[in-house]
């Protein structure tokens, strides 16, 4: 044996004279993974599983209830040589079987104590209570007879022909959705309306029932075809963060020999959901908005999309995609072994523990394990925080308790385990001084760096480029466009016609009024000599006609639109105006002043206050969607009054911006929360030229502060923003 696999164990004397055996209800199934033979032991009455290597199974197979552990180990060592399990590995195998209730239980208390210590549960008290409180399983019915009756029908759908039909169905559904992308996005804002929530939940439950039966039918079919255990006896409800969700226990998929069969079992639920969503998409596309069937189909599409992308389809959470990835990589217990791999690296290379157990069988496998450990812990922390915030939004006291429990489970408990391991753990007995000293040095260094070393601090906000001065040109009278000025032309104030229209009715009315005026003037001239009273009446009529003529002539003059300020005439669709009809009040175009552009940035209350008090006057500006286009600018002003009307709809959620807007906010310019406007003047000497209406990202330089100070401030702002405390 090597140093990494010491042959002997100091606890061996406690188990060597015991004579355990596998339970009579245990069955064994052979599997091949990465070219090696493995044995899956299944205890049918308790539905528990354990996976043993060929050497480990040879050792366990020698335990018949009469032969002692010591004798079995000696025989195994003689037969397998260096491939035989060491005494420590033999104890771990026994502990693994004991934990899964696969060993006959007439063991002495001393032996049971050793096995319990060797295989301590991974979820300790606080973490276990927290998780059990949020995730509770309630078995209700035995679906085995129902599945036996219908597997011949539904199980056969998961074949090559079934896969081809599924691909075609999903493709048709995607085409229906892609052709109506705007309608899909527009209806998304209605999904979480209180009136829609009951329907959304019913659709969720219905899809999840189909999802679970998809797993069950496929597992039943493949297990029956290959001679594996095909009995599925548990179906019930799982309380997931206070939400009842149906589930079916198909853990006997572990007994399937083919990893591809296991992958299909894992994917079956998502395939059923996506097929249902595809059918719903076709129906949704061919039903009228506002009908009940239309709403049901959209909710089915929404639930299937969110569930498949964020949860079941995400391998970083222990749902379907996790088990699929584990089988595809041929790395069983991926999450557990990834954690053990990180621990091994710390023990072996950080604490110099020479005989630390390495769970990876190759460098490639070690790379996969380390990558998964790093990504999954970050994502699980994100999900945990999201769940706590969601609960706290509804029930603040309960959310606070969950947050406290999460801090204890994620920080307090690991630190306690670390301290216990370093102070009393037998594995580090020979290097305890170095292990404790190096750990304290790392912790002190990290804390000191986070609390004392100032780090760069920046704030980012979105804005839109607009002219310093601009004038929107509206049609002042009804008319048909006769002539226009090309867009982009330079104009002066009031000296050039932008758009000229004609109105035959106004021209005819003016001509008629002028004729009436001429007639009234002649009649008045005659009446002055014959009837002064009539002349007085005609004089009043002339004044009325003059008023009408001035009004009509004013409307006619408005048909020639001119600029109120010097600048550039902008009307992208000006060519379409030729011969078109303009109504009074129609927006025609814009005249952009010669003073240049100004960037109007929207910032929340906390950010705006800090920018006004602490930010450097210089800022970096990047064009949204073109990060290579960068220029500098200076803060021109921070407007003191908060507002809710955005400078441009481009900054709102509906147009891809970062500001949450009200669903009934007119043209999408009413923000959900009040904001402050910061005006930035771009550097005039920059080679990058902004266009009016372009969305930009502005980065403000703040005074450097330690990371802990920055994190604490962000945490306080989060609490103030979400809980108003």
Within this chain, do residues 525 and 670 fall inside the same structural domain, yes or no? Answer: no
Residue 639: pLDDT above 60?
yes
With respect to residue 394, please indicate whether it lies within any of the assigned structural domains.
Answer: no
Residue 472: pLDDT above 60?
yes
535 alpha carbon, distance to own chain's centre: 84
217 alpha carbon, distance to own chain's centre: 31
Report the C-alpha gap between 354 and 326 in whole angstroms. 29
Residue 15: per-residue pLDDT:
86
Q: What is the pLDDT confidence band of residue 108, given thresholds at 50, 70 and 90?
A: low
Residue 112: per-residue pLDDT:
55
Residue 128: per-residue pLDDT:
44
Report pLDDT digits (tens) over 184-199. Answer: 877 876 777 778 888 9
Q: What mean pLDDT value characterizes the chain?
A: 83
Report pLDDT digits (tens) over 567-608. Answer: 888 887 777 777 888 888 888 888 887 777 888 888 887 788
- Single out the residue in 556, 591, 626 at which a domain terminates: 591
Within this chain, do residues 20 and 114 fall inside the same structural domain, yes or no? Answer: yes
With respect to residue 385, please indicate whether it lies within any of the assigned structural domains.
Answer: no
Report the C-alpha gap between 220 and 681 in whole angstroms. 68
Rounded mean pLDDT, 78-94: 87
Residue 12: per-residue pLDDT:
85
Within this chain, do residues 615 and 718 fall inside the same structural domain, yes or no? Answer: yes
> Are 140 and 235 contacting, i.e. CB atoms less than 8 angstroms apart?
yes
> Are 36 and 49 contacting, i.e. CB atoms less than 8 angstroms apart?
no
Closest to 30 measured CA to CA, from 227, 217, 216: 227
Report pLDDT digits (tens) over 507-529. Answer: 888 888 888 888 878 877 777 77
Residue 405: pLDDT above 50?
yes
Q: What is the pLDDT confidence band of residue 109, given thresholds at 50, 70 and 90?
A: low
Residue 94: pLDDT above 80?
yes
Residue 5: per-residue pLDDT:
64
Report pLDDT digits (tens) over 316-375. Answer: 888 889 999 999 998 888 988 999 999 999 999 999 988 788 888 888 999 999 999 999
Here the contacts of 240-246 (C-beta below 8 Å, separation 24 or greater) are 240/134, 240/135, 241/134, 241/135, 241/387, 241/390, 241/391, 242/134, 242/391, 244/205, 245/204, 245/205, 245/208, 246/205, 246/208, 246/209, 246/212
Residue 121: pLDDT above 50?
no
Length of the chain (residues): 725
Within this chain, do residues 517 and 646 fall inside the same structural domain, yes or no? Answer: no
- Single out the residue in 59, 91, 120 at which a domain terminates: 120
Within this chain, do residues 521 and 635 fall inside the same structural domain, yes or no? Answer: no
Within this chain, do residues 648 and 675 fall inside the same structural domain, yes or no? Answer: yes
Rounded mean pLDDT, 677-698: 83
Residue 137: per-residue pLDDT:
80
Of residues 104 and 484, more confidence is placed in 484
Report pLDDT digits (tens) over 486-502. Answer: 887 888 887 788 888 88
Q: Which residues pair with 32 in a beta bridge?
A: 37
Q: With helix as H, strand as E and coil as C, how does 254-306 read?
A: HHCCCHHHHHHHHHHHHHHHHHHHHHHHHHHHCCCCCCHHHHHHHHHHHHHHH
| DSSP strand pairing (235-240 vs 135-141) | antiparallel
Report pLDDT digits (tens) over 124-158. Answer: 433 444 445 556 788 889 999 999 998 888 887 88
Q: Which residues pair with 560 in a beta bridge?
A: 500
> Are 214 and 150 contacting, i.e. CB atoms less than 8 angstroms apart?
no
Of residues 353 and 115, more confidence is placed in 353
CATH number at residue 646: 2.40.30
Within this chain, do residues 567 and 653 fall inside the same structural domain, yes or no? Answer: no
Closest to 492 measured CA to CA, from 565, 576, 429: 565
Residue 666: per-residue pLDDT:
57
Residue 81: per-residue pLDDT:
85
**Out of 126-135, 295-304, 371-380, which region has the weakest mean confidence (pLDDT)?**
126-135
Within this chain, do residues 100 and 181 fall inside the same structural domain, yes or no? Answer: no
Count other C-beta atoms under 10 Å from residue 180's C-beta.
Answer: 15
With respect to residue 527, please indicate whether it lies within any of the assigned structural domains.
Answer: yes
Residue 153: per-residue pLDDT:
86
Domain count, the chain: 4
Q: Which domain holds residue 485?
A: 471-591
- Single out the residue in 313, 330, 347 at which a domain terminates: 330
Report pLDDT digits (tens) over 226-257. Answer: 777 778 888 998 887 677 889 898 888 888 88
Highest mean pLDDT among 90-94, 295-299, 354-358, 645-649: 295-299
Within this chain, do residues 95 and 154 fall inside the same structural domain, yes or no? Answer: no
Residue 127: per-residue pLDDT:
44
Report pLDDT digits (tens) over 656-671. Answer: 777 777 766 556 677 7
Please report, rounded to a whole number, the percentage of residues in the chain having pLDDT higher than 90. Answer: 18
Residue 663: per-residue pLDDT:
66
Helical (H) or strand (E) element with 637: strand 626-638
Nearby residues of 640 by Cβ (< 8 Å), 6 or more positions away:
676
Helical (H) or strand (E) element with 27: strand 26-33
Closest to 40 measured CA to CA, from 394, 333, 369, 293: 333
With respect to residue 677, please indicate whether it lies within any of the assigned structural domains.
Answer: yes
Report the C-alpha gap between 157 and 153 in whole angstroms. 7
Within this chain, do residues 178 and 67 fall inside the same structural domain, yes or no? Answer: no
Count other C-beta atoms under 10 Å from residue 571's C-beta.
Answer: 22
Report the C-alpha gap between 239 and 346 in whole angstroms. 37
Within this chain, do residues 560 and 604 fall inside the same structural domain, yes or no? Answer: no
Residue 37: pLDDT above 90?
no
| DSSP code, position 350 | I
Q: What is the pLDDT confidence band of residue 113, given thresholds at 50, 70 and 90?
A: low
Residue 392: pLDDT above 80?
no
Closest to 660 measured CA to CA, from 181, 179, 192: 192
Closest to 214 measured CA to CA, from 138, 166, 296, 155: 155
Within this chain, do residues 162 and 178 fall inside the same structural domain, yes or no? Answer: yes
Counts of helices then strands in the chain (DSSP H, E) = 22, 21
> Are 210 and 277 contacting, i.e. CB atoms less than 8 angstroms apart?
no
Report the C-alpha gap between 313 and 319 in whole angstroms. 8
Burial profile 127-151: b = 16 or more Cβ within 10 angstroms, e = fewer:
beebeeebeeeeeeeebbeebeeeb
With respect to residue 395, please indicate whether it lies within any of the assigned structural domains.
Answer: no
Question: How far from 471 is each of 323, 362, 592, 604, 650, CA to CA, in Å?
Answer: 61, 70, 7, 29, 20
DSSP-derived 3-state class of residue 390: helix
DSSP-derived 3-state class of residue 21: strand
With respect to residue 384, please indicate whether it lies within any of the assigned structural domains.
Answer: no
With respect to residue 366, please indicate whether it lies within any of the assigned structural domains.
Answer: no
**Out of 26-35, 136-145, 371-380, which region has the weakest mean confidence (pLDDT)?**
26-35
With respect to residue 374, please indicate whether it lies within any of the assigned structural domains.
Answer: no
Report pLDDT digits (tens) over 417-464. Answer: 889 888 888 788 889 899 999 999 999 999 999 999 999 988 888 888
Question: How far from 431 is each of 3, 428, 444, CA to CA, in Å?
Answer: 15, 5, 20
């Amino acid at each position: 044996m090597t140093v990494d696999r010491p042959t002997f164990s100091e606890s061996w004397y406690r188990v060597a004279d015991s004579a355990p055996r596998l339970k009579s209800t245990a069955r064994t199934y052979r599997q091949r993974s990465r070219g090696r033979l493995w044995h899956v032991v299944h205890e049918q009455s308790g539905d528990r599983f354990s996976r043993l290597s060929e050497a480990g199974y040879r050792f366990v197979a020698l335990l018949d209830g009469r032969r002692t552990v010591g004798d079995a180990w000696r025989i195994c060592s003689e037969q397998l040589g260096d491939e035989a399990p060491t005494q420590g590995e033999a104890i771990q195998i026994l502990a693994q079987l004991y934990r899964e209730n696969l060993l006959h239980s007439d063991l002495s208390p001393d032996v049971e104590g050793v096995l319990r210590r060797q295989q301590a549960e991974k979820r300790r008290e606080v973490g276990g209570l927290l998780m059990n409180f949020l995730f509770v399983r309630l078995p209700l019915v035995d679906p085995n007879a129902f599945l036996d009756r219908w597997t011949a029908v539904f199980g056969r759908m998961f074949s090559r022909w079934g896969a081809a039909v599924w691909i075609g169905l999903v493709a048709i559904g995607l085409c229906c959705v892609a052709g109506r992308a705007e309608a899909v996005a527009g209806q998304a804002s209605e999904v979480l309306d209180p009136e829609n929530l009951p329907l959304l939940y019913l659709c969720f439950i219905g899809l999840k029932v189909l999802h679970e039966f998809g797993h069950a039918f496929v597992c039943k079919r493949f297990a029956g075809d290959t001679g594996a255990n095909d009995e599925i006896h548990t179906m019930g409800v799982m309380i997931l963060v206070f939400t009842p969700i149906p589930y079916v226990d198909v853990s006997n998929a572990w007994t399937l020999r083919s990893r591809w069969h296991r992958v299909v079992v894992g994917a079956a639920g998502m395939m059923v959901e996506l097929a249902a969503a595809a059918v719903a998409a076709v129906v949704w596309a061919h039903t009228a908005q506002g009908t009940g069937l239309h709403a049901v189909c959209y909710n089915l599409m929404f639930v299937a999309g969110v569930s498949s992308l964020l949860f079941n389809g995400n391998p970083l959470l222990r749902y379907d995609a996790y088990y699929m990835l584990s089988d595809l990589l041929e790395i069983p217990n991926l999450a557990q072994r990834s954690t053990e791999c990180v621990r091994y690296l710390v023990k072996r290379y950080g604490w110099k523990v020479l005989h630390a157990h390495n769970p990876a069988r190759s460098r490639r496998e070690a790379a996969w394990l380390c990558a998964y450990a790093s990504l999954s812990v970050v994502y699980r922390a994100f999900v945990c925080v999201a769940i706590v915030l969601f609960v706290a939004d509804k029930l603040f006291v309960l959310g606070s308790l969950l947050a406290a429990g999460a801090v204890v489970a994620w920080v307090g408990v690991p630190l306690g385990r670390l301290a216990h391991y370093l102070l009393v753990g037998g594995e580090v007995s020979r290097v305890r001084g170095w292990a404790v000293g190096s750990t304290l040095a790392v912790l002190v260094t990290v804390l000191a760096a986070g609390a004392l070393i100032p780090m760069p601090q920046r704030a980012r906000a979105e804005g839109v480029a607009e002219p310093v001065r601009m004038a929107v040109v509206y049609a002042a009278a009804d008319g048909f466009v006769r002539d226009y000025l090309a867009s982009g032309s330079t104009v002066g104030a009031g000296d050039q016609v932008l758009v000229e229209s004609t109105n035959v009715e106004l021209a005819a009315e003016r001509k008629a009024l002028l004729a009436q005026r001429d007639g009234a003037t002649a009649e008045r001239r005659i009446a002055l000599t014959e009837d002064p009273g009539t002349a007085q009446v005609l004089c009043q009529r002339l004044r009325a006609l003059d008023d009408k003529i001035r009004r009509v002539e004013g409307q006619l003059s408005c048909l020639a639109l001119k600029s109120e300020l010097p600048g550039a005439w902008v009307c992208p669709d000006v060519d379409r105006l030729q011969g078109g009809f303009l109504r009074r009040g129609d927006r025609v175009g814009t005249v952009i002043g010669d003073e240049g552009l100004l960037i109007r940035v929207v910032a929340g209350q906390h950010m705006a206050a800090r920018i006004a008090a602490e930010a450097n006057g210089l800022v970096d500006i990047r064009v949204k969607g073109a990060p290579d286009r960068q220029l500098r600018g200076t803060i021109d002003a921070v407007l003191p009054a908060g507002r809710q009307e955005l400078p441009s709809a481009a900054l709102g959620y509906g147009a891809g911006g970062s500001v949450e807007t009200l669903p009934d906010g007119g043209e999408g310019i009413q923000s959900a929360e009040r904001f402050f406007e910061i005006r930035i003047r771009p550097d005039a000497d920059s080679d990058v030229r902004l266009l009016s209406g372009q969305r930009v990202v502005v980065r403000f330089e703040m005074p450097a502060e330690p990371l802990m100070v920055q994190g604490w401030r962000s945490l306080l702002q989060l609490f103030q923003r979400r809980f108003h405390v």
